[in-house]
């Protein structure tokens, strides 16, 4: 059910403001939560949302940093109370005197405050909550901005931990900065070419400091205009990012907040926009104290505990997550925020609130959703009503209160993200490229018109890590050699994993010029259960096909107007796995008792995910090409550099209209024409493994004007076969064109 207007009998906006003045969410309100050090006073103010019916809440501060303040449950407190039917808490004090306990004043609706507390940056603190049933909960701060141990005390954050250097970027004076709304309808995002990066696998060290070296590489290549950092919310281990339990705190194992700021600043200095990934849909399964802290959660979900965005006492829970987005935008000066699997938040009102808060307080910061609801229009449709920020938030509050009181479900007509990951288009591109799927040509034909401001890509961390850890090149090799059909295994999952891992090994052998004997090569294939022997010549052909298909995939993405993205290293034909990895604080002991956990994980993924560091084969730049393929990385870089140049020089490829499409799903051919003002472009794509020789007219080529080829992925300098149409104008529809297998050609009207 969709509710856009409130029943006249319900509270008006004016009544709501008068009865709940604290809910007006001024900037002062946003930044007041958690532990806030006031430098002028040398004191800290604490503010917590907890149970509205709690009997008492205290904040305990320990000044001896790192001494005895490890696990949050290790140290105990002494509670003085008056017994009786209604227990009255009189005092809570540290039993050993090594810390000091301060009572927090109860305000309204579950807000508790303690002002002018003797606490300074790097002091430890925790909250002591006595709930209505007299349970004593020792918890960390859900607003902790520094959390060194997910099961430990929070730390008072030092707001002066870094001095920003690239102020021209922050002030909008650098023309390379991409902002959300300089013009409509693309809202500035048409120049986004995103390199999605994972800090632990980006370098061998896996830290923010070492990542600066990779930022320099990305900037020097000149392909990407932005990096998207996978989540660095705090977790038990240095991991892939999507199990964060401290939504404001940076993972200390990667370097902490100051080093993250330095990385962002360094990227800006090199002309790269920075997008931060955050997770509003679930709490990680390890180090979660929210249920003991207040009404933050509603129970278990698919990925971890789900949040109470629309249930009883939901308002400050929504504010908590909206404030997390504002924190990343303001404290770390990022240019955009990407929100993980937004459909799993189970509240489009929460999503709308986040967008409205960011648009109000950080109007230049763009927002990207990974939504997964088949490009639902409301996700990227934003509110043009002209209502004030305050009215929009009141609308959200009242709708949620109204539907909650009736146990209904509702969604706003517009959420307003500036972009979202284009799942349907990604699946169709990947299917057409990797599987020569005829149906996918029809899908591409339809979806490229609808993609608009959505992020186009052929492969992200999910398509690699969620499946078997292998990238597009090994996936194509497995398909080309038909490995899956020739692999023996106990079930489909095991056969799939064996085929994927064997194709990865074969690719590495050929690319690195491994002098493996035919006997050893046969044994390797036999060990993986292959019933067919593939010699080096056959594998080389498969690899060349895979490289051509990678170029085709990138070419398809880059020639559709709007923002584009690739995964780290894919701009230079990186072969490294990307394997998901994470370790929980109690995992080791549990696995000693239950060895089948590890066995089942390996059978499903092809590797063990529960480790505390990235697997070495997931760190990029470890495999160096040699021999016949020694130039493969430089060739792929040159391909992407030239393609980016063509895109940036032709407005039709940035933000043009797709005015004509032609598809031949039998021959796996697709053509689209784009126009913007006087710029007219036609893009030919051959997704088949065979050369296509035909005259232009049979391909539905437009009959008006003369055309010249400005880009061809089959050039020898890109590693192709050299079949191009350079240096000749095309005006006769009976001319034959050179259309290599797995290639993309761009023509421009002259």
Residue 630 scores a pLDDT above 70 = yes
Residue 536 scores a pLDDT above 50 = yes
Structure tokens at 599: 């066995």
CA 113/CA 497 separation, integer angstroms: 54
Angular region, 747: left φ>0, alpha ψ -120 to 50, beta rest: beta
Residue 359 scores a pLDDT above 50 = yes
Where in the chain are all domains bearing CATH 2.60.40.1180?
A: 655-749
**Tokens 């004509």 found at:** 660
Mean pLDDT on 586-605: 69
CA 560/CA 423 separation, integer angstroms: 15
The whole-number pLDDT of residue 485 equals 93
Return the percentage of the chain with pLDDT > 70, whole number.
90
CA 270/CA 279 separation, integer angstroms: 27
Residue 673 scores a pLDDT above 60 = yes
Return the percentage of the chain with pLDDT > 90, whole number.
70
Mean pLDDT on 703-718: 89
Where in the chain are all domains bearing CATH 2.60.40.10?
A: 33-155
Mean pLDDT on 477-500: 92
671: helix, strand or coil: strand
**pLDDT band with cut points at 50, 70 and 90 for residue 68:** low
The whole-number pLDDT of residue 8 equals 27
Burial call 429-464: b when 16+ CB within 10 Å, e when fewer: bbbbbbebbbebbebbbebbeebbbbbbbbbbbbbb
Mean pLDDT on 177-199: 88
CA 300/CA 285 separation, integer angstroms: 9
Residue 2 scores a pLDDT above 50 = no
Instruction: Choose between 554 and 133: higher pLDDT.
Output: 554
Question: In CATH, which of 3.20.20.80, 3.40.50.300, 1.10.3720.10, 1.10.1060.10 is domain 167-421?
Answer: 3.20.20.80
Of 677, 459, 695, 421, the residue nearest 556 (C-alpha): 459
Element (H, E) at 492: helix 492-511
User: Which residues have CB under 8 Å from 300's CB, separation 6+?
Assistant: 306
Residue 588 scores a pLDDT above 70 = no
Structure tokens at 115: 């002002």
The whole-number pLDDT of residue 11 equals 32
CA 128/CA 95 separation, integer angstroms: 14
Instruction: Choose between 474 and 585: higher pLDDT.
Output: 474
Mean pLDDT on 6-33: 54
Task: List the single range of 33-37, 225-229, 350-354, 580-584 with lowest mean pLDDT.
Answer: 580-584
Residues 418 and 180: beta-carbon distance below 8 Å: yes
195 exposed, middle or buried (CB, 10 Å; 0-12, 13-18, 19+)?
Answer: buried
End-to-end CA distance of the chain: give it in Å, rounded. 53
CA 263/CA 249 separation, integer angstroms: 16
CATH class of residue range 33-155: mainly beta
In CATH terms, the superfamily for domain 655-749 is Golgi alpha-mannosidase II (2.60.40.1180)
Where in the chain are all domains bearing CATH 3.20.20.80?
A: 167-421
Mean pLDDT on 62-68: 65
Residue 197 scores a pLDDT above 70 = yes
Mean per-residue pLDDT of the chain: 89
pLDDT single digits (tens) 712-748: 999 999 999 988 777 666 665 566 777 899 999 999 9
Residues 35 and 52: beta-carbon distance below 8 Å: no
């Amino acid at each position: 059910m969709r509710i856009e207007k409130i029943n006249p009998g319900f509270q008006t906006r004016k009544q709501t403001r008068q009865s709940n003045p604290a809910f007006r969410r001024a900037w002062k309100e946003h930044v007041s939560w958690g532990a806030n050090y006031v430098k002028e006073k040398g004191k800290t103010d604490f503010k917590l949302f907890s149970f509205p019916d709690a009997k008492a809440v205290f904040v305990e501060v320990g000044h001896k940093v790192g001494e005895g303040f490890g696990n949050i449950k290790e140290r105990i407190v002494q509670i003085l109370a008056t017994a009786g039917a209604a227990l009255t808490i009189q005092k809570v004090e540290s039993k050993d005197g090594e810390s000091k306990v301060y009572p927090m004043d109860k305000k309204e609706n579950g807000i508790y405050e303690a002002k002018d507390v003797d606490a300074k940056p790097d002091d430890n603190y925790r909250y002591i909550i006595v709930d209505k049933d007299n349970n004593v909960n020792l918890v960390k701060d859900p607003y902790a901005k520094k959390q060194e141990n997910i099961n430990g005390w929070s730390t008072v954050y030092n707001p002066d931990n870094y001095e920003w250097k690239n102020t021209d970027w922050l002030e909008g004076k650098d023309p390379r900065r991409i902002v959300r709304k300089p013009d409509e309808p693309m809202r500035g995002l048409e120049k986004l070419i995103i390199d999605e990066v994972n800090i632990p696998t980006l370098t061998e060290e896996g830290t923010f400091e070492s990542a600066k070296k990779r930022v320099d590489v990305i900037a020097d290549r000149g392909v990407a205009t932005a990096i998207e950092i996978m989540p660095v919310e705090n977790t038990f281990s240095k991991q892939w990012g999507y199990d964060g339990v401290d939504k404001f705190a940076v993972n200390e194992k990667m370097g902490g907040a100051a080093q993250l700021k330095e990385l962002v600043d360094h990227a800006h200095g090199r002309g790269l926009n920075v997008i931060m990934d955050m997770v509003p849909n679930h709490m990680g399964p390890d180090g979660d104290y929210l249920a003991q802290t207040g009404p933050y959660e509603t129970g278990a979900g698919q990925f971890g505990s789900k949040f109470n965005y629309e249930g009883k006492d939901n308002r400050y829970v929504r504010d908590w997550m909206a404030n997390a987005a504002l924190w990343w935008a303001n404290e770390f000066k990022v240019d955009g925020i990407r929100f993980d699997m937004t459909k799993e938040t189970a509240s489009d009102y929460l999503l709308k609130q986040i967008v409205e808060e960011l648009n109000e307080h950080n109007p230049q910061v763009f927002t990207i959703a990974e939504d997964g609801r088949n490009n639902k229009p409301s996700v990227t449709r934003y509110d043009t009503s002209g209502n004030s920020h305050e009215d929009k938030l009141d609308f959200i509050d009242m709708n949620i209160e109204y539907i909650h009181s009736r146990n209904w479900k509702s969604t706003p007509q517009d959420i307003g993200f500036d972009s979202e990951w284009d799942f349907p288009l990604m699946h169709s591109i990947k299917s057409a490229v990797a599987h020569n799927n005829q149906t996918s040509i029809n899908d591409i034909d339809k979806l490229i018109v609808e993609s608009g401001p959505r992020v186009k890509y052929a492969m992200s961390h999910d398509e690699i890590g969620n499946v078997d850890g292998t990238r597009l090149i090994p996936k194509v090799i497995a398909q080309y050699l038909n490995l899956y059909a020739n692999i023996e295994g106990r079930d489909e999952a095991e056969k799939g994993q064996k085929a994927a891992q064997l194709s990865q090994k074969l690719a590495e052998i050929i690319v690195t010029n491994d002098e493996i004997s035919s006997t050893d090569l046969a044994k390797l294939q036999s060990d993986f259960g292959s019933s067919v022997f593939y010699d080096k010549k056959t594998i080389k052909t498969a690899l060349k096909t895979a490289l051509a298909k990678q170029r085709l995939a990138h070419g398809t993405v880059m020639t559709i107007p709007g923002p584009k993205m690739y995964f780290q290293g894919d701009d230079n034909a990186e072969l490294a796995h990307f394997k998901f990895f994470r370790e929980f604080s109690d995992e080791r002991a549990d696995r000693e008792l239950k060895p089948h956990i590890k066995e089942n994980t390996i059978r499903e993924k092809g590797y063990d995910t529960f480790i505390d560091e990235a697997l070495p084969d997931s760190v990029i730049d470890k495999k160096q090409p040699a021999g016949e393929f020694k130039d493969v990385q430089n060739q792929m870089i040159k391909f992407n550099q030239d393609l980016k140049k063509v895109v940036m020089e032709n407005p039709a490829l940035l933000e043009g209209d797709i005015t004509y499409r032609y598809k031949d799903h039998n021959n796996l051919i697709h053509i689209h024409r784009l126009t913007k003002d006087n710029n007219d472009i036609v893009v030919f794509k051959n997704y088949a493994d065979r050369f296509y020789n035909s005259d232009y007219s049979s391909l539905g080529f437009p009959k008006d004007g003369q055309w010249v080829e400005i880009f061809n992925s089959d050039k020898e300098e890109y590693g192709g076969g050299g079949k191009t149409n350079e240096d000749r104008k095309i005006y006769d529809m009976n001319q034959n064109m050179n259309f290599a297998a797995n290639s993309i050609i761009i023509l421009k009207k002259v």
